Amino acid sequence: MNLLFLDTQIVVWLAEARLERLSPQATAAIEDPELLISPMVLLELEYLYEIKRILLQPLASAIGFSHWRF
- pLDDT tens-digit series, residues 1-50: 678 888 999 988 888 889 899 999 888 888 876 888 888 988 898 899 99
Q: Residue 64 pLDDT more than 60?
A: no
CB 64 within 8 A of CB 14: no
Rounded to whole angstroms, how far apart are CA atoms 34 and 26?
14
Q: Given this model, what pLDDT does residue 20 score? A: 93
CB 70 within 8 A of CB 62: yes
Q: Residue 70 pLDDT more than 50?
A: no
SS3 call for 45: helix
| Cross-strand pairs, 35 | 4
The predicted model scores a pTM of 0.72
